[in-house]
Amino acid sequence: MSATLARSAAGLGMASERTRLRMVARLREQGITDEVVLAAMAQVPRHLFVEEALASRAYEDTALPIGFAQTISQPWVVARSCELARAGRMLDLVLEIGGGCGYQAAVLARLAREVYTIERIGALAARARQTLAAAGIGNVKVRNADGRDASSNVVQFDAIVVAAASATIPPNLPSLLADGGRLVIPLGGAEHQRLTRLTRHGEQFERETFDDVVFVPLKSGQE
Ligand code: SAH
């Protein structure tokens, strides 16, 4: 890189840091209180996860297209889902369903020891892998599969975050929670959903509903 290019890249980095801090201030005003989530969002370079043409809009509180008729979730939705999933605790293993561009996985990676994210569209999964590597995030594993089919006899998760809307909780998922673990999912119809949290207490599951949200649908199969 030439000296001029290096200087302008550094300048961009500083400008995006300032915009990111403004985004975090806005999240606070919008009611996000978990300082660990806010600190994570202050650090993850969201502009790397959107297409270059949209990078200048990366820190607006809006969903943006990422191709294949999918979107990067708006910052508030990411913050709120992470806050509900964390419930004030540090996380060991986390599963995300609907990895998209990898942004939320990058935020979760700062809240957990290890993150597994499943994305049904192969091209998005490949791009997420590249972007996460470029951002220097090493504790996220991206899989191309239908996340509703996720199953395991051995691994249990402290948190599962579903980033696509569903009418019902996919039946495989609750048993993947560790005792005390939390599943956060937007439940409802196509127009809007309610962020819902399922907390495992032994073989019992406590259900709570929170904010009105709009997500793209959870679909079956993989592409
Ligand atoms: N977490 C992303 C949001 C992506 S939007 C972010 O950080 O912005 C939701 C994503 O879920 C889309 O990329 C879509 O392809 C994916 N998806 C939908 N149904 C799925 C399924 N059954 N399994 C895995 N991914 C799915």
Residue 170 CA, closest ligand 1 atom number: 22
Residue of 175, 174, 177, 198 lying closest to 186 (CA atoms): 198
Look at residue 218 and tell me if it is in a domain. Answer: no
Could you tell me the distance, in angstroms and rounded to a whole number, from the CA of residue 194 to the centre of ligand 1? 17
Query: What's the total number of domains in the chain?
Result: 1
Look at residue 178 and tell me if it is in a domain. Answer: yes
Could you tell me the distance, in angstroms and rounded to a whole number, from the CA of residue 146 to the centre of ligand 1? 10
DSSP, collapsed to helix, strand or coil, labels residue 37 as helix
Could you tell me the distance, in angstroms and rounded to a whole number, from the CA of residue 154 to the centre of ligand 1? 24
Question: Helix 75-86 and helix 35-43: axis angle, to 10°?
Answer: 140
| Residue 81 annotated in active site | no
The whole domain housing 90 covers 3-213
CATH assignment at residue 61: 3.40.50.150
Look at residue 222 and tell me if it is in a domain. Answer: no
Residue written as token pair 């949209």: 54
**Which protein residues are within 6 Å of ligand 1, measured from CB?**
70-73, 97-101, 103-104, 118-121, 124, 146-148, 163-164, 216, 218-219
Per-residue pLDDT of the chain (223 residues; tens, 9 = 90+): 455 555 555 555 667 888 999 999 999 999 999 999 999 999 999 999 998 889 889 999 999 999 998 999 999 999 999 999 999 999 999 999 999 999 999 999 999 999 999 999 999 999 999 999 999 999 999 999 999 999 988 889 999 999 999 999 999 999 999 999 999 999 999 999 999 999 999 999 999 999 999 999 999 998 9
Look at residue 135 and tell me if it is in a domain. Answer: yes
> Measuring from atom 2 of ligand 1, which residue has the nearest CA?
100
Q: Which tokens belong to 11?
A: 């300048």
Look at residue 219 and tell me if it is in a domain. Answer: no
Look at residue 99 and tell me if it is in a domain. Answer: yes
Look at residue 139 and tell me if it is in a domain. Answer: yes
Long-range contacts made by residues 169-174, C-beta under 8 angstroms, separation at least 24?
A: 169/196, 169/198, 170/218, 172/148, 173/97, 173/148, 174/198, 174/200, 174/205
Residue written as token pair 């673990």: 181
- Among residues 2, 16, 56, 73, the one annotated as catalytic is 73
